[in-house]
Structure formats: C-alpha cells, structure tokens
C-alpha cells in the first residue's frame, strides 16, 4: 500500500511557559518522502562508484537535512481539562541559526533601546529628557524611526509645531485594555472568557487561548 505524504508531528522539546500553556517544538515528518529518500539512497549506492557515492551521498544528506522542517506552537489546557494546540509556524533546519541568533539578541537586550524610544515617543509624551538621552543609542543601533515617530522626537527636542499635537492623557491600564477587547466580543464569547477566568485562568491566558481557538 502506498504511503500518504501526510505530515506526522513528532514532539521533541517542550517548555511549561505558564500553568496551562506549554511551548512545543515538533519535527515534521513526511513518511513518503522519508521512504523515497531511503530507497533512492540504496539505488544510487548500487549505481555510483564508491568514490562517487562517498562524495555525492554527503551532498544529498546535507540537502535533505537542511530542508527538514520543525514546527513551533503551544499546547493549551482548557478550563474544562481538554487540551488543544494553537496555530504556530514551521521553520527549516537551515534557518534555525538565524532564529537562534535573533532570540539571543532579544535576550541580550539588543532591541531595548529602539523599543524604549518608541514607548517614550508614543506613550510618554512628557518624557522629553528620557527621549533625548536615548536618541544616540537609537541611532547607534542603525534602526530608523517611523516618520511619525521622528516628528515626535523633533517636536520634543525643538518645541511643538502645528503638525503635532501632544496628549497628556493617561495610558490605559492592562485591565482597561482587556475590558475594551472583551466588550468587542459577542455575548456568547464574553461568557466563555468569563468562564475561563472564573476557573483560574489569568486574563492574558484567557485572551491567548481564545484567539488561538477562533483566529
């Protein structure tokens, strides 16, 4: 019987990121492709000379290995005890070094200066001193601010212009942001969110689980 080329997800790593959520990394296996590769290796070994096989086999294995896929997503335990997986993303083995490098850079705070400048510009309009002190670190990162962001920085350094209107309104709290989000849902979905929270989920966990389920 011919094998279907349906993907099999083999869990190879997990991390408990919160009480109800595990981050999962799985190897994506395609049985038909694995079988075809194995059979082709046997065929080519008999067809090629020993020298050719020694050289070409290394190349074939490298190509196959580089293009192996991994899948990253989360396993969530629902308030009723039922587990479900969120949507995730796949990545080729040859691209993993780039992802690892990016994550390590985030861990080391490589983008903190850039992000802090954006926060200061967008949400802390009275923090002129903080922004001014951070401008050089932002420029040294080689990253450019958006046109709107640059206008705000220029305004705070040189004084207001007719094109920019700064607001001193207090930023919304996390609870207020969550309330706004929940109020945008249907009554049925609001009840579902309330059920998650009553069962012990945090608001953030309930929102993540809901969006993973319906989006």
Same domain, 47 and 95: yes
Residue 203 resides in a domain: yes
Long-range CB contacts (within 8 A, 24+) of 205-212: 205/18, 205/19, 205/20, 205/21, 207/178, 207/181, 208/21, 208/74, 208/76, 208/86, 209/20, 209/21, 209/76, 209/78, 209/86, 212/74, 212/76, 212/84, 212/86, 212/87
pTM of the model: 0.56
How many domains does the chain contain in total? 3
pLDDT in tens, 146-203: 565 566 556 555 555 444 444 455 677 888 888 988 888 888 888 888 888 887 788 8
Asked whether residue 124 is assigned to any structural domain, the reply reads: yes
pLDDT of residue 122: 79
Same domain, 153 and 191: no
Residue 165 maps to a domain? no
Q: Residues 17, 96: one domain? A: yes
Same domain, 15 and 34: yes
Examine the domain organization and report whether 193 and 127 are in the same domain. Answer: no
State pLDDT tens for residues 47-92: 999 999 999 999 999 999 999 999 999 999 988 888 899 989 999 9
Do the domain assignments include residue 26? Answer: yes
- Based on the fold, state whether residues 133 and 79 are members of the same structural domain: no
Q: Quote the domain boundaries for residue 123.
A: 112-158
Do 179 and 210 lie in one domain? The reply is yes
């Amino acid at each position: 019987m011919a094998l279907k080329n349906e993907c099999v997800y083999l869990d190879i790593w997990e991390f408990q990121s919160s009480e109800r959520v595990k981050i999962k990394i799985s190897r994506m296996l395609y049985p038909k492709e694995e079988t075809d590769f194995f059979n082709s290796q046997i065929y080519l070994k008999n067809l090629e000379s020993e020298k050719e096989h020694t050289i070409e086999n290394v190349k074939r294995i490298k190509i196959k290995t580089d293009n192996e896929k991994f899948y990253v997503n989360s396993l969530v335990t629902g308030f009723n005890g039922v587990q479900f997986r969120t949507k995730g993303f796949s990545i080729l083995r040859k691209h993993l070094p780039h992802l690892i490098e990016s994550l390590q850079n985030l861990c080391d705070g490589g983008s903190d200066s850039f992000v802090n400048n954006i926060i200061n510009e967008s949400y802390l309009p009275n923090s002129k001193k903080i922004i001014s002190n951070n401008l050089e670190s932002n420029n040294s990162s080689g990253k450019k601010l958006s046109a709107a962001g640059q206008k705000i920085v220029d305004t705070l350094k040189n004084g207001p212009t007719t094109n920019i209107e700064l607001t001193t309104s207090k930023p919304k709290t996390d609870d207020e942001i969550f309330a706004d989000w929940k109020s945008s849902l249907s009554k049925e979905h609001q009840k579902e969110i309330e059920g998650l929270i009553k069962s012990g989920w945090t608001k953030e966990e309930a929102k993540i689980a809901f969006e993973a389920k319906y989006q």
